[in-house]
Chain A
């Protein structure tokens, strides 16, 4: 094999195994984060028997967001994210990361226009998508209730 061909061979194979590896990492880290969430859910269900399911779910989310924010703040979450990719982005902790990370980064550009504004660089689209879906589905359900 010529040098050039060999380099190409190595390149394509390295990329393939790289892709496979990112999937494994995403699976393991994502699964692990969900297990932590499951643990909080089990604990809160026992500790707060008077709370309904929705409130428990919100509390679990908030706890996970706290953990994601804190790990981002001390610089751990971004290190996890380097390997985990989707495994650290998609869980709710990744949403927290997407808020805290730009907030910290742009803090030096000022509190109002730096931190407070740039906080929503990634979270903004999520809030917009969420709010629009909320109104649209709400209207549909309302019309359905009217017809009933």
Chain B
């Protein structure tokens, strides 16, 4: 039951985040790059002011799967690194991005080699 409730919360909050993005798209005709940057910075802001962990406790993947989660891990890394030294403070944020970036770039490369473009057909 608890697991089920977790899914409901993730669905509701994740859906809400995406719906807010859609409102911005409808109202301002923002492109996806701007939307992604905006929500990344929202995640950075929420983590920096300390609000993110409360939302995450409630919503789980509902807030970490949207790009806001990416922003949050960056700040978490910076915070962790700052306890060690200046070098770690400025680089550990990027270190936390490493997994996601590696996956995106590697699979981008791999699939571009293997598959031919579908988007051109539409």
Contact = CB atoms under 8 A, between A and B. Distances in A.
Interface of A: 19, 22-23, 25-35, 37-42, 54, 57-62, 64-66, 69-70, 72-75, 78, 84-87, 89-92, 94-96, 98-101, 103-105, 107-108, 115-116, 119, 121-123, 125-127, 129-131, 133-135, 137-139, 141-142, 144-145
Contacts, number: 298
Interface residues of B, number: 83
Contact of A144 (B18, B82, B116): B82
B55 interface: no
B111 A72 contact: yes
A73 B115 contact: yes
Contacts of A142: 82, 85-86, 89-90
Given A34-B11, A122-B33, A85 B22 contact: yes
Interface of B: 3, 6-7, 10-26, 32-37, 39-41, 44, 48, 60-62, 64-67, 69-71, 73-79, 81-83, 85-86, 89-94, 96-97, 99-105, 107-109, 111-122
Nearest to A131: B94
A58 B107 contact: no
Contacts of B25: 22, 85-86, 89
A123 B108 CA distance: 11
A34 B107 contact: no
